[in-house]
Amino acid sequence: MSVKGGYFFRILDVDLTRGETTIVPIDESFVLKYIGGRGFGARLVADHLKKSGGKCDPLGPENILVIAPGPLTGVYLPASGKNSFVTLSPATGIYGDSSMGGVFGVELRQAGYDAVVLRGRAPELSVLTIEDDRVGILPLPQAAGVSTLEAEKLVREATGDEDMKIASIGMAGENGVVFSCVNADWSRNAGRIGIGAVMGSKNLKSIAVRGSKDLPVYDLDALVRVSREGYDYLKSHEFFRFWQEQGLMSVVDYANAMGILPTHNFKETVFDRADKMNGYVMEDRYKISDTACFGCSMSCGNVCLVREGKYRGTVTEGPEYESAAMLGSNLGASNFAYILKANALCDDLGVDTISTGSIIGSMIEGLEKGILTQEDLDGDEITWGDEEGILRLIGKIAGREGVGDTLAGGAFAILKRWPDMEGVLSHVKGLEQSAYDARAAISMALGYGTSDIGAHHTRAWTVASELENGAGWGLEEKAEFVIYHQTIRPLFDMLGVCRLPWIELGFPEEYYQRFYQAVTGVERSMDDLLECSRHVYDLTRTINVTLGINRKDDYPPKRTLVDPVPSGPTKGNVVDRDEYEKILDLYYEKRGWDSDGKPSLSL
Ligand code: SF4
């Protein structure tokens, strides 16, 4: 199998402590096995962990941060703007990655790299500049504490370059908030697992890139043919227009109708004011424009403006469903203008909206249940729907002020201080649960429980399929379905494309094999590509096992197993513990892992 396109065959390695850069060549066998994106990142993190003797402090200079687009990133085909950030997570202490859209990753490829590895720690707050082969580390102390957008402005002033693509952290990343994000292109985030804090621990406020190279494509004519076909497929889909209008905000009504909408910290799954915060409210009263990532005709981004009231003047891209649900219904708040304000604040400060909403919801419930006292929250009172209190707490988390210092440490720090919060704060392996209740669908519980980064929905979003079609499925089919999701979804991150066309508009899988073949010249079946993804999942599990993960860590949040849903269409649902043990056994067996969840692979 020879690779004729798709790669530059080189990785840029930057030692921030020494101010040195190295070009590391990669060979054909490496790109064939790991494909790109998350695959490259997982391999590089595994190699680094092995060299470090199986130990690495995620916030120490010894941790590495890999930024890796895929072979399809930036190429003419639908939704090809994705780029993976891969590292060891300060939130969970284990493997972590996040996929960011927009155009930042495209520019990185145009600079001529298949990945960038950052190691060490710059002597002072800095921006890394990459202009093709010219790489520099520029002090940027004036950016301390500023928002992600303000950081972009300061980088442009410092470099004198208006066109660089810039990824930055906010105050939260500088302060080591373990669920802080990296933000680029105004509205695109690498979120969830604390990549912002890893960048902050390296004294890196921003990364600015400008590339001028053509991307290597093996058969341009074939690519144009299949891409046109793909764009036509999407355009002719009955929900294409609706998707452009609402994007992921359309999920609010769906989740509420199905009884999986996080409400009052996941105590409930239906919100009686969901119609005040759904996609139609956004569309009718707040939306002023669409935005899209590179190459994407689906343009799911929604630019919104608050025109009146106390949040007047707030402009933000979003919220996506998960942000609206976690900062809205999960906190008992339905005022859409407030949701936009909270979303914009999280983006400016650089914190993940899902974890932030989950943690604040657990604080409110903790107070309600008497597990916490008002003194624990610095004498502050906070209740469901308390917009001012919520916004204040977001600021305290990013600034690590008062109780915010504990909350900034995420689930593990909260549970260390208040162990009785275990049944209140929903998390897996230290990562707070995403915006889909799992009590009605054991496959979703298994997806959360076995996800290699913790309770995040993007690894296996199986809840809708199980609720709609799973009546006749046994545990075996459900375990297989989770593995299928955990295999195909990460493949999109390896290729450098967005998974939403496949999820939302049923974009057929075979297109990805055809895109890959046209770009790389490598003839492989979809099964072959999926096998590569499956190997990478084994590898990330092996990283986690090396770091101490085993069966005891593969359970869904406690609430999923003990608190029946109190009302709504999923009333009475709870995942049965014995059933879960059975499905976990099946899952391990089908993956070829032992009964403790250990793959036969070694680092
Ligand atoms: Fe970006 Fe949305 Fe298009 Fe995906 S569907 S590439 S997130 S605009």
Of ligand 1's listed atoms, the one at least distance from the Cα of 299 is 8
Residue nearest to atom 4 of ligand 1 (CA): 498
Of ligand 1's listed atoms, the one at least distance from the Cα of 296 is 3
Q: Label each residue of 491-531 as H, E or C.
A: HHHHHCCCCHHHHHHCCCCHHHHHHHHHHHCCCCCHHHHHH
d(C-alpha 524, C-alpha 483), whole Å: 21
In this prediction, residue 470 carries a pLDDT of: 86
What is the Å distance from ligand 1's center to 298 Cα? Answer: 6
**What are 167-204's pLDDT values in tens digits?**
999 999 999 999 999 999 888 999 999 999 999 999 99
**What are 451-490's pLDDT values in tens digits?**
999 999 999 999 999 999 988 999 999 999 999 999 999 9
What is the Å distance from ligand 1's center to 363 Cα? Answer: 33
Residues 6+ apart with CB under 8 A from 263: 269, 270, 271, 329, 330, 332
Other Cβ atoms closer than 10 A to 556: 24
Q: What is the dihedral of CA 254, 322, 116, 63, to 10 degrees?
A: -130
What is the Å distance from ligand 1's center to 228 Cα? Answer: 17
Q: Give residue 356's identity as a one-letter amino acid code.
A: T
Of ligand 1's listed atoms, the one at least distance from the Cα of 497 is 6
Ligand 1: residues with CB < 6 A are 79, 81, 101, 292-293, 296, 298-301, 498, 500
Of ligand 1's listed atoms, the one at least distance from the Cα of 82 is 6
Q: For a substitution probing ligand 1, which of 237, 248, 293, 323 has the most ligand atoms within 8 Å of its CB?
A: 293
In this prediction, residue 186 carries a pLDDT of: 83
- The distance from CA 579 to its chain's CA centroid, rounded to whole angstroms, is 29
In this prediction, residue 502 carries a pLDDT of: 95
Phi, psi of 95 (to 5 degrees): -55, 140
In this prediction, residue 381 carries a pLDDT of: 87
In this prediction, residue 318 carries a pLDDT of: 80
Of ligand 1's listed atoms, the one at least distance from the Cα of 101 is 1
In this prediction, residue 187 carries a pLDDT of: 82
What is the Å distance from ligand 1's center to 102 Cα? Answer: 8
Q: For a substitution probing ligand 1, which of 189, 296, 320, 507 has the most ligand atoms within 8 Å of its CB?
A: 296
Phi, psi of 387 (to 5 degrees): -55, -50
What is the Å distance from ligand 1's center to 230 Cα? Answer: 15
Burial 413-438 (b: 16+ CB within 10 A, else e): bbbeebeebbbbbbbbbbbbbbbbbb
CA distances from 484 to 200, 387, 491 (A): 35, 40, 11
Other Cβ atoms closer than 10 A to 450: 28
Taking 70 as the pLDDT cut, the residues of the chain under it are none
d(C-alpha 343, C-alpha 320), whole Å: 9
DSSP state of 282: I
Of ligand 1's listed atoms, the one at least distance from the Cα of 501 is 5
Burial 380-392 (b: 16+ CB within 10 A, else e): bebebbbbebbbb
Q: What H or E segment, with its residue span, contains residue 316?
A: strand 315-317
CA distances from 330 to 83, 206, 316, 494 (A): 29, 32, 20, 32
- The distance from CA 267 to its chain's CA centroid, rounded to whole angstroms, is 24
Of ligand 1's listed atoms, the one at least distance from the Cα of 79 is 6
CB 52 within 8 A of CB 170: no
| Residue whose entry in the numeric block shows the structure tokens 């106390």 | 310
What is the Å distance from ligand 1's center to 130 Cα? Answer: 25
CA distances from 594 to 176, 213, 240, 480, 536 (A): 36, 47, 44, 17, 17
d(C-alpha 600, C-alpha 603), whole Å: 10
